[in-house]
Each structure stands twice: as structure tokens, then as C-alpha cells.
Amino acid sequence: MDRQGTAPGDTSADTRLKGPAVWALVLTGVASFMAALDNLVVTTALPAIREDLGGKLEDLEWTVNAYTLTFAVLLMFGSALGDRFGRRRLFIVGLSIFTGASAAAALSPGIDELIAARAVQGVGAAIMMPLTLTLLTAAVPAARRGMALGIYGAVTGLAVASGPLIGGSLTEHISWQWIFWLNVPIGLALIPLARLRLAESTAPDSRLDVPGTILISGGLFGIVYALVNANSEGWTSAPVLTGLILGSALVGAFIRHGIRHANPMLPMRLFRNRGFLGINLASLLMFLGMFGSIFLLAQFLQGVAGYSPTEAGLRMLPWTGMPMIVAPIAGILSDRIGGRPVVAAGLAFQALGLGWFAVILSADVSYAAQLPALVLSGIGMALYFAPAANVLMSTVAPADQGKASGTNNALREVGGALGVAVLASVFSAQGGYESPQAFTDGTIPALWIGAIAVALAAGLALLLPGRAKTRDLPATPTTPASPEAAAPAPAKVPAAG
């Protein structure tokens, strides 16, 4: 019998979510919403921040980039710390850092202090975010994991897409400080609830891989630093080229380390699994196309169409609000037919939506003409986010779930930074901010790049393994801190060749 009184072979109790699983879904979902929201929530508040705190354009860019940079660089390290010292314990540590840094950002007297607070926010999010997926997977029975992770994915996707709306609304109707104050009461409520309601777990025989941590942190720092500075410094400038070259070299050394080291942070053997490799590459390309496109389209609605930040966000609701409607249904559907067709369909819809935008976009385009593209993009985002987490976690053993979550989140962040940098560079080369027509001329080819990236992701999703018969792993005697003791073990999926 396990800790909830269920016999190891009994699946009758796995047909619905019970108290511990519901609490895990609520707590990890809210925490992931806060962390994902802060990727884009600042974008629509930048004019107000500049008016209040001053600073040059580069300073304003760093209020966005400081968070992305530390978030992407430290995700793998945060996941490794949770595996080693306890996922619930480090989740609470990360949540506390994130909450405190949010208050510091709201109280910042100058632009430099705001940038520093944003960097510390990214540190807290990097510790907290990868552990949300591991904690949730351990708490939810395998038979309902697709539905639970579908809801989790819907919440995360909604946070990413609704950042401009929430940031614009708070800035327009209250003040820009409230985009940060919003996190504080939520974080203070989550900290004691997480201590009381989440079960502790660690990865068996987990050790900190210090050389691997240094290599991947330095490599991601170099690459992401180059990407977020490419537009202001130029792609051929010395800092950008140095970051790309040294960062790539360090990532290459990390890959070699993962092949040869006995117990690396990220075993390269995981990428021999076709499903693990495919879903991670698809996630990187999805975020590349989606982040870069949202970055430009949110500005198009304000700078060309003439809407206020709140009005622009409301008109994007067919895109941003769709995950709340479609993703839970898609999660249930993925339980029945498998994640591959749902993920592939979602990416295809997202690519079609971006392509539709590129076809119809003009300086005087009507909102009615944009509506089908918004709906297609929203459905596609929901279909992707719903089963993607379940597909990822089903490709690895329980001991590797923390590594898998950290890897996927890091690749998403790098994809997002790459998307903004690449699409903004295409935009600058083909157009600019001089006039509505110039902005439109730059946005159209950038959207085509985004659509192609997501279409490639859809092709990769078709290569994912098909649905396999799964079974719950039998309960085994473990220490109270192990994931097996905390909740039923994830379904075992054979590695794909």
C-alpha cells in the first residue's frame, strides 16, 4: 500500500484528481503563471518606466533582458539544486527570492536598481520554474496526468501571451509599479501553502555536477547575452560575436562533458530518445516564432492601429484567451489518442495563424481581417501547451524528471530570446518606426520567419513516437523524500529508437 492507502496494482483510485494532486496543480500552476508572466509583462510599461525613472533606450531594454538572461542561464542549476536538496524546499526558496525581488522592483528609485531587481527576479524564477513541473508530475496519478498537465500548460501559455495585456492595463489604470506589486501577496500566500500541501521529493543518488553547471551557465550566458544585445550592438560587433563564439564553445564542452562524465547534470543519453529530442527542439522553435511575433504584433496594434495598451490587449484575447478554453480539452484528448497528433496539430495551427497575419497585414488592416489569424494562433497555442509537458515527462525515468524539466524550460527561454532578436533584426532591416507603413513593411517578413520556425516545429512533432501502452511502476520501498513515496510513479514509456 502507498502512503494514500492504494495498493500498487490498483488503478481505480487514479481516475480522478484528489486532494494532494489538486493542491499541487493549484500551487505549481499559480507559481508558473507568475514566473512566465514576467517574461513579457514589462513590455507595455516601458514608456511609463522611462518617464518616471529616466534612462536610455538600452537601459529600458535591460529591464526586460535582465530577467530573461538570469532566468535562462540558471534554469539547469535550479533544477539540479532541487534534485539534490529537495524539490519542495528549493521551490519555496525560489518563490521567496522571486517575491522579495518583485517588491524591490516596485520600490526601485532608479533604472539601475530596477534592472538589478529584475535580474534577481530571474534567479528566483529559475529555481522555482523547473521544479513546478517535477512536483506536479510526482503528485498526479498517471491516468490523469495528461489532464493535469494540460491545465498547467494552459495557465503557463496564458501567462506568456497575456503579459502585454496585464502590464498595459495595470500601467494605464494604476501605475507601472503594480506589475511587480501584484506578485507580492500571491507569493506570500503560496509560501506557507507550499510548505503544508506539497510533498517533498529528491532524485535518487542525486549529486551536484559543478563542472557541468559552470559550463552550461557560462555557455547560456554568452549566447543569451549576445542575442539580447544583437539589435543594439549589431550582429557583427565584438561583444555579440564573442558571446556567440565563447557561449557555443562552452555549450559544446558541456555536451562532451555530458557524454563522458559518470553522473552529469544532463546525461546526453536522454537525447537518444526520439521523443525527448523532438519535443525539446519543437519547443525551442515554437517559442522562437511565438515570442518574436507577439513582441512585434503587440507593438503593431498600438503604434500602427492606434490602440491603447489595454485596448490592444483586449483585441488579442482571441489569441491569448483561447488556451483557457481549448487546453484542458486538448489535455484529455491527448490522454485518449496520444500527445503526438495534438502537439503537431497545435504547432500547425500556430504556423497557419502567423502566416495568415503575414498575408493580410497592412497599415490600414481591419480588426475583422485579423480575427481568423488570432483564433487560429490561439487554438494552436492551446493544443501545443496542453500535451507538451506530458509528452516531455513521459520520455524520461522519474530520476531524470528534474533534468528534463530544466532542459525544456532553458531551451524555451533561449528560443524566446532568439525569436525576439532574430525577428527584430529582420524588422529593422526591412522597415522601422518611422511611419505606420515602415512598421508594417518590417513586420511582414519577420512574421514569415516566425511562421516558418513554428512550421518546422510541427514537422519535428510528427517524428515524435506514437502512443505507447503505459503502466504504472510498482511501488517500491523508498525514503520519505523520494518521488515514489510522494506520489504514484509516472507511467513508463519505452525509449524510442
The string of pLDDT tens digits covering residues 119-130 is 999 899 888 887
Average pLDDT, the chain: 77
- Nearest Cα residue to 161 out of 42, 72, 41: 41
pLDDT in tens, 6-27: 333 444 444 455 667 788 788 8
Q: Summarize the confidence of residues 150-159 as an average pLDDT.
A: 72
pLDDT computed for residue 436 by the predictor:
87
Rounded distance, CA 351 to CA 366, Å? 21
Under 8 Å between Cβ of 91 and 133: no
Please check the confidence at residue 428 and state whether its pLDDT lies above 90. no
| Helical pair 238-260 and 210-233, crossing angle rounded to 10 deg | 160
Distance CA 170, CA 178 (A): 6
CA atoms within 13 A on the CB side of 85: 14
pLDDT digits (tens, 9 = 90+) for 47-72: 778 778 876 656 766 777 788 778 87
Mean pLDDT computed over 415-443 = 82
Sign for the CA dihedral angle at 404, 405, 411, 415 comes to positive
- In angstroms, the CA 486 to CA 399 distance is 13
Nearest to 148 by CA among 330, 383, 343: 330
Dist CA 44 CA 62 (whole Å): 14
Contacts of 246 (CB under 8 A, 6+ apart): 218, 222
Q: Please give the pLDDT value at position 455.
A: 93
**Structure confidence at residue 76 (pLDDT):** 75
* pTM score, whole prediction: 0.72
Res. 142 pLDDT band, cuts 50 70 90: low
* Nearest partner of 168 among 30, 36, 49, 291, judged by Cα: 49
- Predicted confidence band at 3 (pLDDT cuts at 50, 70, 90)? very low
**pLDDT for 464 beyond 50:** yes
